[in-house]
Every structure is written in structure tokens, then in C-alpha cells.
Amino acid sequence: SQQGEEDPQALSIQEGENATMNCSYKTSINNLQWYRQNSGRGLVHLILIRSNEREKHSGRLRVTLDTSKKSSSLLITASRAADTASYFCATDAGNTDKLIFGTGTRLQVFP
């Protein structure tokens, strides 16, 4: 079963707009990660946020983590057509040492 679920499942925006994706998970975690996958290819690591952190930035990416609500959000600012991809959150599901992925959000950015 999936540890995390992303919301929305799909998102379409224009270039220059911001894109926000949400991830909810079920069990306690040590960290939460976000990955990007271009169509049918391998995943690319974007950012890792630890359970004792609330917010993290990397370039145009901003990630927040609310452990009390077991949720995280990924904000991509000033989106570009090249940001078109699927975005997945992944958690280590507590002490299982497994990386469990969410269901993903498909982002389409129109030029």
C-alpha cells in the first residue's frame, strides 16, 4: 500500500504561475523527500526535509512539513515548461528503512 498520497493527481498551469502539490502520509517519519520524474524515465531527487524541520528552500522550490498533520507541500515558483513532469513524495516510514513513494502529481506547464 502507498504510504503517501499526493494531491492533486493532476495540475495544469501556465508558465510563470506557481504550482503547489500536497502530500499526506500515514506513519511517523524521519524524513520526507520529493522527486521528479519526466515521462517514463528515472526519478530525480529534488529535496529532503527532516522531521525536525518545518520549511526548506532550494532554488525555485519550497517545501514545508507539518508532522502534526502528517503532511507536506511542494511549491514551485515561476514555473517553466521544463517543469512538466510527475512529482512524488517519499517517506522512510519511520524505522522501516524503506523508501515509500506516494501516488504522484502530474504537472503540466503550458508555454
Partner 1 sequence: KAGVTQTPRYLIKTRGQQVTLSCSPISGHRSVSWYQQTPGQGLQFLFEYFSETQRNKGNFPGRFSGRQFSNSRSEMNVSTLELGDSALYLCASSIRQGGETQYFGPGTRLLVL
Contact residues toward partner 1 (CB under 8 A) are: 2, 30-31, 33, 35, 40-45, 48, 88, 90-93, 96-104
Nearer to partner 1, 77 or 103 (CB): 103
Q: In which region does residue 70 sit, left (phi positive, over 0), alpha (psi from -120 to 50) or beta (all else)?
A: left
The CB-of-75 to partner 1 minimum distance in angstroms stands at 20
What 3-state DSSP class applies to 83? helix
In this structure, the strands spanning 19-25 and 71-76 are antiparallel
Residue (39 or 111) nearer to partner 1, CB: 39
Question: Smallest distance from the beta carbon of 96 to partner 1, in angstroms?
Answer: 7
Closest distance to partner 1 from the beta carbon of 111 (Å): 26
Closest CA to 15 of 86, 89, 107, 88: 107
1 vs 111, which CB is nearer to partner 1? Answer: 1
Separation between Cα atoms, residue 10 and residue 85, nearest integer Å? 10
